[in-house]
Amino acid sequence: MKLTVKKLLEITDGKLICGNEEEVIEKYSKDTRTINQGECYVGIKGENFDGNKFYKDAFKLGAKACILDTFGSTDEEMGTIIYVNNSVEALQKIASYLIDNVDAKVVAITGSAGKTSTKDMVYAVLSKKYKVLKSPGNLNNEIGLPFALLTYINEDIIVCEMGMNGFGQIDKLSNIAKPDYAVITNVGTAHIGMLGSRENILKAKLEILNGMKKDGTLVINNDNDLLSTVSGIDQKIVKFGIESEADYNASNIVLKNGKTFFDINGETYSVPVLGKVNAYNALAAYTVGKLFDVSDEDIKEGLETVILTGNRMQIIEQDDYTIINDTYNANKEAMMSAFDTLNTFESRKVAILGDMLELGEFEEDIHREVGKYANGKIDVLVTIGNLSKYINDEFNGEKYHFDTKQDAMNDLKDIINNGDVILVKASQGMKLLEIVEFLRK
């Protein structure tokens, strides 16, 4: 959306330090390393840096204007500068104004796991019939979501995801994006250390209703024990499921040749990624597709050709073995699902696992649960880190534990055999992508 500086001053309650009120702004950036000619630079304070300090660099690189919440004085008038009380809040106000003034429908996706993959699948399905904006990567927080929304041009539908690790965060995101449709993939144990219980995680996820249109539609996974209890809300509820009766059901889940197959109403669908969890993600996308009157044929083609954001159950075929790169993130439910997927392979099954983070007082118990679940599903366990030793403790088969990634890499050549299928998974903070790159080399 094109907005004049004068309009931005009105939206953000900002002050013009210098420049031209009639200047027209269309695109925004917070990073001088990637800023493009003509964009508006937004200076944001981080924990270890202050983006406001780089406004001169932004102008030199072609920025048309800067929005800053820290500004001293300058003798040189380099461009248009808007001063605001808080740059992040100003960014959110601009994004909210955009949503209020475009005709696009907003589909927001949240959940303890599967947000990004579900978003990718929803986008693939809806794109068969509509012009769709998808928030890139995992831009799902108070800064990333507004920037994603501000890339809007003239699409019919905006598909975005909303993340959180505490109360109030999805409430804020929902009131910025004001979704017409919301999808909650599941309620698991991710961030339970900060919220204290799965019931509190459900409450935090349901904050997505706070900014949602009253005539909107909430799409939920009815197989999830907590989501199945949701009722008594203003919005319409549409349910999907595999194990329970729902508005849209899938059955006959089959994992084969790097794909997940499933049936809906006697028709077979597939997605090019393994895992029963991806059948759930695809079923959520099917449900959204039907709500937007996308044909079954187009839904099928969209799911078959979906391109998922990286490092999620990515199959990498090497000359001597197969790697399953699932290093993007990890929680209890995702770990267990990954073991189920690994168990479908006939070759010797190796799991290289790191710590699951942000579990607080539950961290030992949850890691031990994962270790018990791995029994009978994998052949060899390799754990790396402080918490994954509890997984190791509960596993009864061939197993190895290392304190560091380097220690593990020193010994992996003696652990792995030709023909192995190797799952690599941990919370993103463990950076086990380094193990994947090591195995690829």
Q: Are 353 and 325 in contact, with CB atoms under 8 Å apart?
A: no
Mean per-residue pLDDT over the chain, rounded: 94
| pLDDT score of 307 | 87
Nearest CA to 318 out of 431, 412, 404, 381 is that of 412
- pTM of this prediction? 0.85
CA of 63: how far to CAs of 20, 30, 59, 94, in Å? 14, 11, 5, 18
Query: Does residue 4 register a pLDDT over 60?
Result: yes
In-domain check, residue 126 = yes
Q: Looking at the structure, tell me whether residues 274 and 385 fall in a common domain.
A: no
Query: Does residue 367 register a pLDDT over 90?
Result: yes
In-domain check, residue 91 = no
In-domain check, residue 96 = no
- What is the average per-residue pLDDT within 428-436? 95
Q: What angle do CA 128, 133, 134 make, to 5 degrees?
A: 95
For the chain, what is the domain count? 3
Query: Does residue 75 register a pLDDT over 70?
Result: no
CATH code: domain of residue 262? 3.40.1190.10
In-domain check, residue 93 = no
Q: Pick the last residue of a domain from 24, 53, 86.
A: 86
The whole-angstrom separation of Cα 14 and Cα 84 is 5
Q: Which amino acid is at 98?
A: L
Q: Which amino acid is at 44?
A: I
Which one is predicted more confidently, 161 or 190? 161
| pLDDT score of 408 | 97
| pLDDT score of 165 | 84
- What is the average per-residue pLDDT within 294-298? 98
Identify the domain containing residue 17 by its residue range.
3-86
In-domain check, residue 420 = yes
Q: Looking at the structure, tell me whether residues 201 and 343 fall in a common domain.
A: no
Q: Looking at the structure, tell me whether residues 204 and 231 fall in a common domain.
A: yes
Q: Are 306 and 271 in contact, with CB atoms under 8 Å apart?
A: yes
In-domain check, residue 333 = yes
The whole-angstrom separation of Cα 39 and Cα 240 is 42
Q: Looking at the structure, tell me whether residues 133 and 176 fall in a common domain.
A: yes
Query: Does residue 76 register a pLDDT over 70?
Result: no
In-domain check, residue 95 = no
